[in-house]
Amino acid sequence: MTPDLIAAARDRLAGHARVTPLLSSPFLDEIAGRRVLVKAECLQHTGSFKYRGARSAISALDPETRARGICAASSGNHAQGIALAAREMGVPAVILMPSDAPQIKLDNTRAYGAEIVTYDRATQDRDALMLELEAERGMTLVRPYDDPQVIAGQGTCGLEIAEQAQAMGVERAEVLVCCGGGGLTSGIAVALSQAAPDFTVRPVEPEGFDDTRRSQASGQREINPAQSGSLCDAILTPSPGKLTFPLIQEHCGPGLVISDSEALQAMALAMLRLKLVIEPGGAAALAAALFRGNDLSEETVIVTASGGNCDARLLARALELLQK
Amino acid sequence: MTPDLIAAARDRLAGHARVTPLLSSPFLDEIAGRRVLVKAECLQHTGSFKYRGARSAISALDPETRARGICAASSGNHAQGIALAAREMGVPAVILMPSDAPQIKLDNTRAYGAEIVTYDRATQDRDALMLELEAERGMTLVRPYDDPQVIAGQGTCGLEIAEQAQAMGVERAEVLVCCGGGGLTSGIAVALSQAAPDFTVRPVEPEGFDDTRRSQASGQREINPAQSGSLCDAILTPSPGKLTFPLIQEHCGPGLVISDSEALQAMALAMLRLKLVIEPGGAAALAAALFRGNDLSEETVIVTASGGNCDARLLARALELLQK
């Protein structure tokens, strides 16, 4: 995984992925006690950064392989990214999704034109089902993070961060990234290692699901004791990826954690102050910037607002925090 | 009012105003039955396009005049734009606001550093109070729309629309603009008359407050029978401006109207599909694109999402529409 691969992904994504804005609010700066810049990936196609990696991976395939179709397993945002990118490129996509995924993510994935196969998280083995799909249909599996071209696609977000922040006069910063399997985190970290070496990437995870932070500390891939139980569903993964973890070890500073209630508060403040809708997992980095300032050291912090695919009920719950 | 004035304003705003993104969602296209592009001015500094006109007007003053300070009268978004732009340029600002303005707008304006003077809409004459302020303090009044440099500043939004839409391959479009006094509408219309002559600007107003539409039809500045009573508070003005109306007459197609409930639905869909928070008055153009398609003729419609300064209570009310 090298900066070259990210530069090539950027060329393939040009004119397709959105260059999302880097936003700010003096009200958030005041809460954080430092300058906070927000990379609004919730405004990316399909409502999350996942479109970048999906389009990067599908566009990197040779045409013959691509034409046989794409399959993927995902609880949501990766599924939507794959579905849209596949449709744009005119190839079929089959997505394996847990039957208890948020309804909006199931509906959206279907609306983007993918075929959905659901499975029961408790009783069925996702990986075995996926191998069956690959073998039966001859499709190419695109993994959500352990794929060099997916990581390269997510890394294009890092190139934009470097350019946008530097244009604002930022020379040093901590870059907080909402971290599940580590595709976005490692992609941004590799991109910045060349494009902005004085920016330090730090993963942010929900309390109790800090596999990456613990893995950074122990030097080996740690596994979370539970696989569900946080509002931040988009970034719950059992452990950092095989490909992503060594990149995180090499390039990232120590991880941070936030609570569900801090994620909800960050969602509420994003609506009020940035005019952005962010889902809980996509609000983790902003929550760390706002509420975990004691763990930060730079005067400028850049956060990814990684996704915004959120049920109305949960948005309403976040808004209640503003009405007290 | 000429395109040259807009080009000059753009130079003064460069590096200060945000170039806001032009967004879209296939889900909105499906509802509208055509392509819908959304100019996300709610992401502008202070949460509305008004910052453009405010910064344009203040930066156009000679330094000595500017140093004596700026005054303005506004129910909200213009006030915030003036307050921030004045603070950035290091000059004092006094804002005359109705005492019943939304609390968030009063609070924000104060937080941006302006002095606020409140008055009672029912019993006090705003214009007389403003003249007093001008005379007593030697400040320069910046009107919310009837000022060539304010119109020029809003017109910079039109230049961005032209460039962004043309980069997406759009050659013809109807451009729907949320219309109060007509500053944004006329500014965009003048900008597009040169930058994209095949784009037709059309003002959008709330039902019962369609002074601009009626004025376009009658050829003279009509006055609304009521001055309050719509959720779309940001775009309630008694009549089109003296400067803006002739520009609208010259450059715009016929006006459209929407209902409050259509504005609320558009707000809900903006949160769900665009990840944007829009206030009711800022959602009027999107509402027209989504729900008044019979009044449109082009295959592509571009709408301004003009502002996002909205109480949490009202956002929650819009979200309820998604939970039924």
Residues A7 and A77 in one domain: no
Minimum Cα–Cα distance from B313: chain A residue: A323
Q: pLDDT tens digits, residue range A214-224? A: 999 999 999 99
Domain that holds residue B103: 51-141
- Pick A271's closest partner by Cβ from B20, B272, B315: B315
User: Is the complex ipTM higher than 0.90?
Assistant: yes
Q: Share the mean pLDDT of chain B.
A: 95
Minimum Cα–Cα distance from B277: chain A residue: A275
- Pick A276's closest partner by Cβ from B19, B20, B275: B275
Q: pLDDT tens digits, residue range B234-261? A: 999 999 999 999 999 999 999 999 999 9
CB A146 within 8 A of CB A243: yes
Boundary residue ending a domain (A141, A160, A194)? A141
Q: What is the pLDDT of residue B227?
A: 84
Q: pLDDT tens digits, residue range B18-54? A: 999 999 999 999 999 999 999 999 999 999 999 999 9
Query: For chain A, where are the E strands, in sequence order?
Result: 22-23, 35-39, 70-73, 93-98, 115-119, 140-141, 173-178, 199-206, 256-258, 300-304
The whole-angstrom separation of Cα B280 and Cα A75 is: 33
In chain B, residues with a C-beta closer than 8 Å to the C-beta of A104 are: 272
Q: pLDDT tens digits, residue range A292-302? A: 999 999 999 99
Higher-confidence position of A142 and B99: A142
Residues A37 and A59 in one domain: no
- Please check the confidence at residue A192 and state whether its pLDDT lies above 90: yes
Residues A132 and A215 in one domain: no
* Of the candidate ranges B32-36, B76-80, B163-167, B261-265, the one whose mean pLDDT is the lowest: B76-80
> Is the CB of B316 less than 8 angstroms away from the CB of A313?
no
- Please check the confidence at residue A202 and state whether its pLDDT lies above 90: yes
Q: pLDDT tens digits, residue range A281-293? A: 999 999 999 999 9
Residues B44 and B56 in one domain: no
Residues A55 and A42 in one domain: no
CB proximity B135 to A under 8 Å: no
> Is the CB of A275 less than 8 angstroms away from the CB of B277?
yes
CB proximity A61 to B under 8 Å: no
Boundary residue ending a domain (B87, B113, B141)? B141
CB A71 within 8 A of CB A137: yes
CB proximity A293 to B under 8 Å: no
Which residue out of B44, B163, B275, B304 would a mutagenesis test of the A interface target, given it has the greatest number of A Cβ atoms within 10 Å? B275
- Tally A–B CB contacts below 8 A: 82
Q: What is the pLDDT of residue B222?
A: 97
- pLDDT above 90 covers a percentage of chain A that reads 87
- Please check the confidence at residue B157 and state whether its pLDDT lies above 90: yes
In chain B, residues with a C-beta closer than 8 Å to the C-beta of A26 are: 111-112
In chain A, residues with a C-beta closer than 8 Å to the C-beta of B110 are: none
Q: What is the pLDDT of residue B173?
A: 98
In chain B, residues with a C-beta closer than 8 Å to the C-beta of A272 are: 104, 277, 312
Confidence grade of residue B324 (pLDDT, cut at 50, 70, 90): low
Residues B107 and B191 in one domain: no
Q: What is the pLDDT of residue B92?
A: 95
Rg (CA), chain B: 18
Residues A257 and A158 in one domain: yes
In chain B, residues with a C-beta closer than 8 Å to the C-beta of A20 are: 21
- Please check the confidence at residue B270 and state whether its pLDDT lies above 70: yes
CB proximity A302 to B under 8 Å: no
CB atoms within 10 A of CB B133: 20
- Please check the confidence at residue B282 and state whether its pLDDT lies above 90: yes
Residues B115 and B161 in one domain: no
Q: Which CATH number is A83's domain given?
A: 3.40.50.1100
Q: pLDDT tens digits, residue range B108-146? A: 899 999 999 999 988 998 888 888 888 888 999 999 999
Name the region of A76 (left: φ>0; alpha: ψ -120 to 50; beta: rest).
left
Sign of CA dihedral B1, B210, B288, A104: positive
Q: pLDDT tens digits, residue range A248-287? A: 999 999 999 999 999 999 999 999 999 999 999 999 999 9
Q: What is the pLDDT of residue B283?
A: 98
Q: pLDDT tens digits, residue range A48-105? A: 999 999 999 999 999 999 999 999 988 789 999 999 999 999 999 999 988 887 777 7
Residues 6+ apart with CB under 8 A from A112: A46, A80, A83, A84, A87, B26
Q: pLDDT tens digits, residue range A239-251? A: 999 999 999 999 9
Mean pLDDT for B192-213 is 98
Residues B61 and B169 in one domain: no
Residues A166 and A40 in one domain: yes
- Please check the confidence at residue A228 and state whether its pLDDT lies above 90: no
Q: What is the pLDDT of residue B318?
A: 96
**Sheet-wide strand order for B22-23:** B22-23, B35-39, B300-304, B173-178, B199-206, B256-258
The whole-angstrom separation of Cα A41 and Cα B303 is: 21
Residues A130 and A252 in one domain: no
Q: DSSP secondary-structure letter at B265?
A: H
CA angle (A224 as vertex; A218, A225 as ends), nearest 5: 120
Boundary residue ending a domain (B121, B141, B161)? B141
> Is the CB of B316 less than 8 angstroms away from the CB of A319?
yes
Chain B nearest C-alpha distance from A121 (Å):
26
Residues B210 and B303 in one domain: yes
- Domains in chain B: how many in total? 2
CB proximity B169 to A under 8 Å: no
Q: What is the pLDDT of residue A297?
A: 97
CB proximity A277 to B under 8 Å: yes
* Of the candidate ranges A28-37, A69-78, B182-191, the one whose mean pLDDT is the lowest: A69-78
